[in-house]
Amino acid sequence: MCGIIGIVGKEAVSDRLVDGLKRMEYRGYDSAGVCTVENSQLIRRRAEGKLFNLVNVLKSDDAPGHTGIAHTRWATHGAPTTSNAHPHATGEVALVHNGIIENFKPLRDELIKRGRQFESETDTEVVAHLVSEQVEDGKSPEEAVQAVLPQLRGAFALAIAFRSHPGLLIGARLGSPLVVGYGDGETYLGSDALALAPLTQQISYLEEGDWVVVTEDGATIYDNQNKAVEREVTTSGVSAATIEKGQYRHYMQKEIFEQPTVVAQTLQSYIRPLEQQVALPQMGFDLESIKRITIVACGTSYYAGMVAKYWFETFARVPVDLDVASEFRYREPVLEPGGLALFISQSGETADTLAALRHSKENDQKIAVVVNVPTSSMAREADLLLPTHAGPEIGVASTKAFSCQLAVLAALAAHLAVVKGKMSREEEMDVVRHLTEAPAALNAALAYDEAIADMAHLVAPARDVLYLGRGPDYPLALEGALKLKEISYIHAEGYASGEMKHGPIALIDEAVPVIVLAPSGPLFEKTVSNMQEVRARGGKIVLISDADGLAEAGEGCMATIEMPRVHPLIAPLVYAVPVQLLAYHVAVAKGTDVDQPRNLAKSVTVE
Ligand code: G6P
* CB-ligand 1 contact for 602 (6 Å cutoff): yes
Q: Which of 524, 530, 529, 570 is nearest to 548 (CA)?
A: 524
* CB-ligand 1 contact for 388 (6 Å cutoff): no
Q: Which helix (H) or strand (E) holds 108?
A: helix 104-113
Q: Which of 390, 296, 394 is nearest to 339 (CA)?
A: 296
* CB-ligand 1 contact for 304 (6 Å cutoff): no
Could you tell me the fold of the domain covering 447-594?
A: Rossmann fold (3.40.50)
CATH number 3.40.50.10490 given to 245-446: yes
Question: Residue 65: which pLDDT band, with cuts at 50, 70 and 90?
Answer: very high
- How far the first Cα of the chain sits from its last, in Å, is 10
- Of 61-65, 230-234, 270-274, 474-478, the least confident: 270-274
Quick check: 459 and 473 in contact, CB under 8 A?
A: no
The pLDDT of residue 416 is 95
Q: How far is the CA of 523 from the centre of ligand 1 (A)?
A: 30
Mean pLDDT confidence for 439-454: 95
Question: Residue 19: which pLDDT band, with cuts at 50, 70 and 90?
Answer: very high
* CB-ligand 1 contact for 396 (6 Å cutoff): yes
pLDDT higher than threshold 90 for residue 260: yes
The pLDDT of residue 75 is 82
Mutate to test the pocket of ligand 1, among 404, 602, 606, 607 (most ligand atoms within 8 A of CB): 602
User: What rounded mean pLDDT belongs to the chain?
Assistant: 93
* CB-ligand 1 contact for 324 (6 Å cutoff): no
Q: How far is the CA of 397 from the centre of ligand 1 (A)?
A: 8
Vertex 208, ends 184 and 334: CA angle to 5°? 145
pLDDT higher than threshold 80 for residue 284: no
Ligand 1 atom with the shortest distance to the CA of 486: 8
- Count CB-CB contacts under 10 A for residue 209: 14
Instruction: Report domain 3-243's class.
Output: alpha beta
Q: Which of 288, 301, 489 is nearest to 386 (CA)?
A: 301
Delimiting residues of CATH 3.40.50.10490 domain(s) in the chain: 245-446, 447-594
The pLDDT of residue 273 is 84
* CB-ligand 1 contact for 298 (6 Å cutoff): yes
Q: How far is the CA of 484 from the centre of ligand 1 (A)?
A: 15
* CB-ligand 1 contact for 346 (6 Å cutoff): yes
Percent of the chain scoring above 90 in pLDDT:
77
Question: Residue 242: which pLDDT band, with cuts at 50, 70 and 90?
Answer: low
Question: Can you name the residues that pair with 45 across neighbouring β-strands?
Answer: 34
Residue nearest to atom 15 of ligand 1 (CA): 345
Mean pLDDT confidence for 179-199: 94
Catalytic positions are 2, 602
Q: How far is the CA of 428 from the centre of ligand 1 (A)?
A: 32
* CB-ligand 1 contact for 405 (6 Å cutoff): no
* CB-ligand 1 contact for 301 (6 Å cutoff): yes
Q: How far is the CA of 303 from the centre of ligand 1 (A)?
A: 11
Mutate to test the pocket of ligand 1, among 27, 301, 403, 594 (most ligand atoms within 8 A of CB): 301
Mutate to test the pocket of ligand 1, among 598, 603, 605, 607 (most ligand atoms within 8 A of CB): 603
* CB-ligand 1 contact for 604 (6 Å cutoff): yes
- Region of 272 please: left (phi>0), alpha (psi -120 to 50) or beta: beta
Instruction: Give the strand pairing for 93-101 and 88-89.
Output: antiparallel
Q: Please give the model's pTM, rounded to 2 decimal places.
A: 0.81
Question: Residue 24: which pLDDT band, with cuts at 50, 70 and 90?
Answer: confident
pLDDT tens-place string over residues 580-603: 999 999 999 999 988 888 877 777
The pLDDT of residue 182 is 97
Q: How far is the CA of 427 from the centre of ligand 1 (A)?
A: 33
Question: Residue 537: which pLDDT band, with cuts at 50, 70 and 90?
Answer: confident
Question: Residue 241: which pLDDT band, with cuts at 50, 70 and 90?
Answer: low
* CB-ligand 1 contact for 355 (6 Å cutoff): no
Mutate to test the pocket of ligand 1, among 1, 369, 398 (most ligand atoms within 8 A of CB): 398
Choice between 220 and 534, residue whose per-residue pLDDT is larger? 220
Ligand 1 atom with the shortest distance to the CA of 300: 10
Residue nearest to atom 11 of ligand 1 (CA): 603
The pLDDT of residue 77 is 79
* CB-ligand 1 contact for 293 (6 Å cutoff): no
Question: Residue 107: which pLDDT band, with cuts at 50, 70 and 90?
Answer: very high
Mutate to test the pocket of ligand 1, among 255, 300, 357, 405 (most ligand atoms within 8 A of CB): 300
Burial 341-372 (b: 16+ CB within 10 A, else e): bbbbbbbbbbbbbbbbbebbeebebbbbbbbb
pLDDT tens-place string over residues 395-438: 889 999 999 999 999 999 999 999 999 999 999 999 999 999 99
The pLDDT of residue 593 is 87
Q: How far is the CA of 586 from the centre of ligand 1 (A)?
A: 21
Q: How far is the CA of 482 from the centre of ligand 1 (A)?
A: 11
Question: Residue 489: which pLDDT band, with cuts at 50, 70 and 90?
Answer: very high
Mean pLDDT confidence for 57-74: 95
Mean pLDDT confidence for 296-325: 96
Percent of the chain scoring above 70 in pLDDT:
99
Ligand 1 atom with the shortest distance to the CA of 601: 8
Ligand 1 atom with the shortest distance to the CA of 347: 14
Delimiting residues of CATH 3.60.20.10 domain(s) in the chain: 3-243
The pLDDT of residue 240 is 64
pLDDT higher than threshold 90 for residue 506: no
Q: Which of 29, 372, 2, 45 is nearest to 191 (CA)?
A: 2
Q: Which of 221, 84, 211 is nearest to 150 (CA)?
A: 211
* CA pair distance 87, 84, nearest whole angstrom: 9
Residue nearest to atom 5 of ligand 1 (CA): 299
Q: How far is the CA of 560 from the centre of ligand 1 (A)?
A: 30
Q: Which of 74, 87, 3 is nearest to 37 (CA)?
A: 87
The pLDDT of residue 606 is 65
Q: Which of 139, 135, 129, 89 is nearest to 109 (CA)?
A: 129
